[in-house]
Each structure stands twice: as structure tokens, then as C-alpha cells.
């Protein structure tokens, strides 16, 4: 049921078309494509529920671009509320970033029945995604998300693989055979965010895939959940991480699992070296969730060269020069320092650290009743500028193109509910320099970093993309609760007019 003071969103599935499976869509340089957000019905377990899909599918179509290309997306909103599309991770023009004017963004909301054209640039290879940036808590939970794969111009950018697949990881909260209700005026679950009770992989409750013994498959992993951090594993397979949010990792490494907070991505190559059925899993300290399985068969054609290259851990030469320039950044004080804090108000009480104090990641909703009832009126989250005391949208930073901005992020324990926060920066990319003073030994360009409770993380933002941009917590309910601010990157021509 609805828990706010407005009208609940409709949940009737009568007359709605069934959601289709996501399809790949190759977007040529200079192309114009259409994208429609509209209601669909979807079977989740025994329940048939109303959801929202881009082009009628959940996830939406996977958009494949060539690095350096440009395209126009003609978007139409056939949903029941105003929306925008945010092209998460792309360093493109801020006019088309999908942040609405009410949040000091550049785009008017797209009302139901209206259209808006986005002109996209894709300068960086890697895996990105798209989703709403108005009532993100509602739209994402309802299925409005899709993947973006940018193929590199450089032929040897990634190691050889036999084939590729994209996995969008999510969860959804089902109550009494319906998606748990949303209020039209305000979000709920503001305390911890809305955890789902059903896991989804590419929109399915049980993902399946076939592979050949000896085959190497590249998986593009995206966490599209509102709140849940996911620990992805395929026990019995060999996993090599080759990339993160925004391209290659400094040194490829063999891993047992990959931890992704909301909106984070990873690129992993997986070797299936023997036949059998392997489970795809999400691990928490207390539970193992089976997301699906991969059937590994004998006799499928595989290329020996890919298996040979799989065992080679390549280094990315791009980071050699970056390492040489980091010494000055690591020895100077931070340019900016922020704290992540929360305050319970009204009838909600301070309860201190979560139940599992030895593991600061909130793997589950440990306070279901309190979390469900919490709204921005009873739980407020803030990003605080430590130097000025300004909070959230009162923060107004200005940087210049070419700046390397060192930002210290402290997730305060002196707060009514210490918990993790995935911190996301629009329009730029950054490096994680250190955690709790320990320098990062394997760099990767990112746009989101998980800051667990009690940790201090330092990042180095490369200010290359002019415009006004947003930074925020990517727990959707925290964003709706105001945990965001904007900053400006001023181009050279403004600094030095002719």
C-alpha cells in the first residue's frame, strides 16, 4: 500500500502488454534512435505485476556504441509521471545529462506524453547505463534501466574472448503479489533504502546461459538496484577482472568475487574450464542468493588463443603516466572535504551501528518496519562541506577545466544511522586514491565509489568536462531525500576570453 500523503501510483495490469526481453541495439555514428518509457506487465515468480520498461523490455535495450561516436536519442515518456533519462557515466554534454531544472540541472522534466531529444557523445570505452533522474526510487525499481556498451577503437584494448554478455543485477520488493506501493508525492524507505526480496538478473528471477568447456566469456556487470550492494560470484569458474566503471583496470587480476554497490560496474572475463552446471551467486555474510546458472558443455567450438591470453595479467600503460603524476596529489592537502551524515527526526530514534558491526556494508534490510515507514520528513541525509558547513544543494563548488581535485569523503560514525553510501559524480571520472589512509594499489577510472560506514575515502576527480554537474549518493531513496549537490566546471574560453 501507499505510505505517503499523496495518491498511490496505479498497479493494475489490465490491458498492459507483457514485458519483452532486452535486445541489443547497434547505434551507428550519427544515428537517430527512438526510446519509449511505458507501462508493461511482467511475470515475477507467481505474480504478474505492473512495471515500466524502455521500449517495452526489462531491462531496456542494450545500446552498443563505437568509441568516439555521437547519436541522437528521441525519448518519449508514456509513463504516469514526469521523468528524464540520465546517461550514467558518460562524459558528454551536461545539457543532455538528464538532471532536471529543479536540481539545478539543464533539462526540463519530460511530462507524460511529451518527448525530448538527447544528443549523446561516448568518448570512453567500457560499460555504462541509463535510468531516470526524477523519482529514481520509483522508476528504477519499476524496471527503467538499460545498459550501454562502448566498444573501443583500439583493437587490443580488451583481451581476446570468445564472446560477450551483459548482466544487469537488481532486486525488487514484492508484497502480496504486487510491487510494493509508491506514493506519488514522496519516497519512502528513506532510512536504509528499498531492499528487494526477489533478485533479478536481466529482469529474470533465474538467469540461464550456456557456455563451452574452455570458453572465455566477457561479462559486463551492472548493479541497477536501488540500495543493495551485490557480491557477484560464479563458484567453479575462473574470474579475471579487466575493467571497472570507466574502462580498464591498471593491472588485471584474478578474483573470487566482485563487490558492486548501486550503479557500479565491472568488466570480468570468465573461463569455464570444465563441463558442468555452475551457479551464479550473490553472497552476503549471512546468506547466499542463487541468481541463476550456467551450463558448461563439451564440444562447443572455442578458440585456444583466448584461453592462453586469459592467464596473462596485462598492465594498462595509460596508468604509467598517471602514477608518475600522482606524487604531488598524494602529498598535498585535499582541495575539498565532505562528510556523509544522517539525522532521524520525529518519532524515529537513534539506533547506532547496524547489527553486524564487524562488516559495515548494509547487506540486508535489518530494520524492515522502521525502514518501510521512514520518509524524508522523518529521516534526513546530508552531504556536508566540512570547510563551509554548507549541506546538499547549498554546496556550490567551482572548478576549472584541467583541475585535478582531491576530495576527502568521510562517512561519519557520529550519525543516527551509520551505513554505506555509494558516492556518484556526474560528467567526470575519478581515481580512488586511498581508503583510511591506505593508498590504492590498483587504479581504475570510476564515477561511483562505495564509502562504508566509518571509512574515509579520498578520490582525485579529473575535471575535463565543462558544465554544471551533480554529485550524490546513489541509494535512490537517499537521493530523493536530498543527498546531492552540484558543482561547475568552467571551460577555458570562459577563463581566458579572446
Question: For residue range 333-371, what is the model confidence (pLDDT) as tens digits?
Answer: 999 999 999 988 865 555 554 444 456 688 898 888 899
DSSP 8-state assignment for residue 364: S
- What is d(CA 344, CA 378) in angstroms, rounded to the nearest whole number? 6
Same fold, 24-151 and 323-495: yes
What 3-state DSSP class applies to 209?
strand
Q: What is the pLDDT of residue 8?
A: 81
Of residues 409, 405, 392, the one with CA closest to residue 451: 409
- Taking alpha carbons only, the member of 395, 368, 169, 394 closest to residue 264 is 169
Domain boundaries, the chain: 24-151, 163-315, 323-495
What lies within 8 Å, CB to CB, of 446 at 6+ separation is: 244, 245, 246, 264, 429, 430, 431, 432, 459
The DSSP code for 83 is B
- Burial (Cβ within 10 Å: 0-12, 13-18, ≥19) of residue 493: exposed
Nine-digit cell string for 430: 575519478
Query: What residues have CB less than 8 Å from 202, skipping those under 6 apart?
Result: 21, 22, 59, 166, 167, 168
Question: Hey, is 377 helix, strand or coil?
Answer: coil
Please name the fold of domain 24-151. Immunoglobulin-like (2.60.40)
- Give Cβ neighbours of residue 67 (< 8 Å, ≥ 6 apart): 122, 123, 124, 125, 150, 151, 152, 153
Q: Which three cell numbers stand for residue 303?
A: 578458440
Task: Give CA–CA dist 461/215, Å, rounded.
Answer: 38
CB neighbours of 470 closer than 8 A, spacing ≥ 6?
97, 99, 103, 104, 105, 426, 484, 485, 486
Nearest alpha-carbon partner for 188 in 58, 53, 40, 348: 348
Q: pLDDT (tens digit, 9 = 90+) per residue, 302-311?
A: 776 677 889 9
Q: What pLDDT was estimated at residue 101? A: 86
Instruction: Provide the whole-model pTM.
Output: 0.95
Residue 261 contacts by C-beta under 8 Å, 6 or more apart in sequence?
223, 229, 420, 422, 448, 450, 474
pLDDT of the chain, 498 residues: tens digit per residue: 345 556 888 899 999 999 999 999 999 999 999 999 999 999 999 999 999 999 999 999 999 999 999 999 999 999 999 999 999 999 999 999 999 988 887 899 999 999 999 999 999 999 999 999 999 999 999 999 999 999 999 999 999 999 999 999 999 999 999 999 998 888 999 999 999 999 999 999 999 999 999 999 999 999 999 999 999 999 999 999 999 999 999 999 999 999 999 999 999 999 999 999 999 999 999 899 999 999 999 977 677 667 788 999 999 999 999 998 898 888 899 999 999 999 888 655 555 544 444 566 888 988 888 998 899 889 999 999 999 999 999 999 999 999 999 999 999 888 888 999 999 999 999 999 999 999 999 999 999 999 999 999 999 999 999 999 999 999 999 999 999 999 999 987 655 444
Q: Are 6 and 184 in contact (CB under 8 A)?
A: yes
Pick the CATH number of 323-495 from 2.40.30.30, 2.40.370.10, 3.40.50.2300, 2.60.40.420: 2.60.40.420
Q: Which fold is adopted by the domain 163-315?
A: Immunoglobulin-like (2.60.40)
From CA 309, how far away is CA 304, in angstroms rounded? 9
Amino acid at each position: 500500500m501507499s505510505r505517503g500523503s499523496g495518491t498511490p501510483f496505479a498497479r493494475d495490469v489490465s490491458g498492459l502488454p507483457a514485458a519483452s526481453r532486452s535486445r541489443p541495439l547497434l547505434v551507428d555514428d550519427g544515428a537517430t534512435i527512438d526510446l519509449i518509457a511505458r507501462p508493461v506487465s511482467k511475470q515475477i515468480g507467481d505474480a504478474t505485476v505492473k512495471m515500466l520498461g524502455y521500449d517495452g523490455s526489462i531491462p531496456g535495450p542494450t545500446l552498443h556504441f563505437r568509441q568516439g561516436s555521437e547519436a541522437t536519442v528521441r525519448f518519449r515518456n508514456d509513463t504516469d509521471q514526469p521523468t528524464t533519462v540520465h546517461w550514467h557515466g558518460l562524459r558528454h554534454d551536461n545539457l543532455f545529462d538528464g538532471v532536471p531544472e529543479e536540481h539545478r540541472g539543464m533539462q526540463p522534466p519530460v511530462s507524460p506524453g511529451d518527448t525530448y531529444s538527447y544528443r549523446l557523445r561516448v568518448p570512453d570505452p567500457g560499460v555504462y547505463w541509463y535510468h531516470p533522474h526524477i523519482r529514481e526510487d520509483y522508476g528504477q525499481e519499476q524496471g527503467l534501466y538499460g545498459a550501454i556498451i562502448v566498444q573501443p577503437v583500439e583493437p587490443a584494448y580488451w583481451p581476446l574472448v570468445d564472446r560477450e554478455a551483459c548482466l544487469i543485477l537488481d532486486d525488487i520488493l514484492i508484497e502480496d503479489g504486487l510491487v510494493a506501493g509508491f506514493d506519488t508525492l514522496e519516497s519512502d524507505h528513506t532510512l536504509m533504502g528499498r531492499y528487494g526480496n526477489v533478485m533479478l538478473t536481466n529482469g529474470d528471477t533465474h538467469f540461464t546461459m550456456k557456455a563451452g568447456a574452455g570458453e572465455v566469456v566477457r561479462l559486463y556487470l551492472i548493479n541497477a538496484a536501488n540500495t543493495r550492494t551485490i557480491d557477484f560470484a560464479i563458484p567453479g569458474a575462473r574470474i579475471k577482472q579487466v575493467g571497472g566503471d570507466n574502462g580498464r583496470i591498471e593491472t588485471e587480476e584474478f578474483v573470487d568475487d566482485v563487490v558492486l554497490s548501486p550503479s557500479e560496474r565491472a568488466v570480468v572475463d570468465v573461463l569455464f574450464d570444465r563441463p558442468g552446471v555452475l551457479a551464479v551467486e550473490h553472497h552476503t555474510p549471512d546468506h547466499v542468493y542463487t541468481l541463476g546458472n550456467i551450463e558448461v558443455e563439451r564440444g562447443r567450438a572455442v578458440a585456444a588463443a583466448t584461453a592462453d591470453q586469459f592467464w596473462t595479467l596485462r598492465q594498462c600503460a595509460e596508468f604509467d603516466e598517471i602514477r608518475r603524476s600522482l606524487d604531488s596529489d598524494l602529498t598535498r592537502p585535499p582541495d575539498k572535504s565532505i562528510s556523509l551524515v544522517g539525522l532521524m527526526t520525529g518519532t524515529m530514534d537513534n539506533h547506532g551501528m547496524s547489527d553486524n558491526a564487524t562488516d559495515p556494508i548494509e547487506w540486508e534490510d535489518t530494520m524492515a518496519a522502521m525502514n518501510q515507514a521512514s520518509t524524508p520528513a522523518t529521516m534526513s541525509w546530508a552531504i556536508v562541506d566540512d570547510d563551509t558547513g554548507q549541506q546538499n544543494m547549498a554546496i556550490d563548488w567551482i572548478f576549472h577545466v584541467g583541475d585535478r581535485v582531491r576530495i576527502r569523503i568521510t562517512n561519519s560514525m557520529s550519525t543516527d544511522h551509520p551505513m554505506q553510501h555509494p558516492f556518484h559524480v556526474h560528467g567526470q571520472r575519478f581515481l580512488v586514491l586511498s581508503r583510511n589512509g591506505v593508498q590504492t594499489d590498483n587504479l581504475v577510472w570510476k564515477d561511483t565509489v562505495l564509502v562504508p560506514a566509518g571509512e574515509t575515502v579520498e578520490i582525485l576527480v579529473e575535471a575535463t568536462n565543462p558544465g554544471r554537474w551533480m554529485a550524490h549518493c546513489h541509494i535512490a531513496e537517499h537521493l530523493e531525500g536530498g543527498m546531492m549537490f552540484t558543482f561547475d566546471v568552467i571551460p577555458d574560453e570562459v577563463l581566458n576570453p579572446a
